[in-house]
């Protein structure tokens, strides 16, 4: 094994571990002592008042025979209880603490150069591993392990071209084993890892650049399908970015047959009603691909919030993870991440510039399609 191999991040199997306060007797004792640590783990409900609260918020100790316990406030409400005045007072503060804890954990995972054990993340949040794991998944739609793996894949794509050895890059990105990575590599990189590290050596990528009403556009196609639709202000800068991404690939520009394909893509960008019936070389994690499929189901002229997209892919509190998936999209307009906006409708966070996102949305809302901008220029 590699000398710097990090310990793998504990997976969701930790959910099988016994949670804190596992019995009603343990919960009753916590209630009797107003144990604030228990607030993160259960609520108690009083049959005679029809209300529930956190253990530390009990105004006075009820009779044991009148008390029942629930793991969450939602379960208590489903059983017909309502929040007590004390519970309402503490709910907003608790929700804010949870949000901050998950946000800090996400930042830690995004910036880490090693595998962060679940216990370490939970300790940083001041929670048990059981409760932190459940909270993190409810807020992001992903387990800490899955979120960490997505971050590692992003770092690997960034660092692999400069690595001396593929194995070094795999372990330095935080992957605990190479076998699982190699199984997933085609979907993450679009080609074998060694070929990706060598700048796409022996890979053939056709490309062309042109102009449309959004500025410069670069279209690239691998053997699997369209792998890049990039927008920018400078066509030469887009080509340099492609060369930097795949310095050893055979970049083939100026092919007459490919110009027709690029014209089709430009026409699609200008007039989405035309549709785009071309194969896409989609490279991402399983979660990213779920998000991208959901984005392609949003009709032109409509938008969804990050939270609404998260709900559609089965992770109602995964808005942050959806935003990261949108940022990782390399196929502008074909995967319409421009149709995702903030909860209040504000437009922000577009890989190719907020002004272009606003222009795309305005054109779709007004039914303005524009005209294709003619033949793509490829002699670069």
Residue at token pair 């400069």: 162
Instruction: Give the residue among 202, 191, 188, 185 at the shortest CA–CA distance from 248.
Output: 202
Q: In this structure, are residues 90 and 55 in contact, taking their beta carbons and an 8 Å threshold?
A: no
Rg of the chain on CA atoms, in Å: 25
Q: Which residues have C-beta within 8 Å of that of residue 319, sequence separation ≥ 6?
A: 305, 306, 307, 309, 310
What DSSP string describes 156-167? HHHHGGG-SSHH
Which residues partner with 377 through β-bridges?
A: 209
User: Which tokens is 118 given?
Assistant: 């679940």
Q: Which entry of 106, 151, 227, 337 is annotated as an active-site residue?
A: 337
**For this structure, is 373 an active site residue?**
no
- Give kind and range of the element (H or E) at residue 352: none
Strand 43-46 to 67-70 pairing: antiparallel
Which residues partner with 210 through β-bridges?
A: 217
Sheet holding 215-222, edge to edge: 225-232, 215-222, 204-212, 250-253
Annotated catalytic residues are: 337
């Amino acid at each position: 094994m590699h000398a710097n191999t990090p310990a793998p991040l504990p997976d969701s199997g930790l959910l099988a571990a016994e949670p804190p306060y596992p019995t009603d007797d343990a919960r009753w004792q916590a209630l009797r002592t107003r144990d604030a640590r228990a607030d993160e783990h259960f609520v108690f409900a009083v049959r005679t008042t029809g209300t529930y609260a956190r253990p530390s918020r009990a105004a006075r100790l009820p009779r044991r025979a009148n008390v029942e316990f629930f793991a969450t406030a939602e379960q208590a409400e489903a059983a017909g209880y309502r929040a007590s005045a004390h519970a309402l007072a503490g709910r907003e503060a608790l929700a804010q603490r949870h949000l901050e804890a998950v946000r800090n954990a996400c930042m830690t995972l995004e910036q880490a150069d090693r595998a962060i054990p679940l216990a370490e993340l939970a300790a940083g949040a001041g929670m048990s591993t059981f409760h932190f794991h459940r909270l993190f998944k409810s807020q992001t739609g992903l387990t800490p392990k899955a979120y960490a793996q997505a971050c590692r894949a992003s770092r690997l794509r960034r660092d692999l071209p400069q690595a001396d050895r593929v194995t070094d890059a795999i372990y330095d990105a935080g992957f605990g084993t190479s076998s699982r990575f190699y199984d997933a590599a085609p979907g993450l990189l679009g080609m074998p890892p060694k070929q990706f590290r060598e700048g796409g050596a022996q890979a053939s990528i056709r490309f062309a650049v042109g102009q449309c009403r959004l500025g410069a556009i670069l279209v690239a196609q691998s053997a699997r399908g369209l792998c890049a639709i990039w927008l920018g202000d400078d066509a030469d800068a887009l080509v340099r970015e492609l060369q930097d991404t795949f310095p050893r690939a055979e970049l083939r520009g100026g092919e007459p047959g490919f110009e027709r394909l690029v014209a089709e893509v430009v026409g699609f960008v200008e007039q989405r009603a035309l549709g785009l019936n071309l194969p896409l070389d989609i490279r991402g994690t399983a979660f990213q691909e779920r998000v991208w499929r959901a984005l392609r189901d949003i009709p032109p002229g409509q938008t969804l919030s990050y939270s609404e997209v998260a709900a559609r892919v089965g992770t109602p509190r995964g808005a942050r993870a959806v935003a990261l998936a949108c940022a990782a999209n390399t196929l502008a307009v074909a995967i319409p991440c421009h149709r995702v906006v903030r909860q209040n409708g504000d437009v922000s966070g577009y890989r190719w510039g907020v002004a272009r996102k606003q222009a795309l949305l305005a054109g779709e809302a007004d039914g303005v399609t524009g005209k294709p901008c003619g033949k793509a220029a490829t002699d670069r």
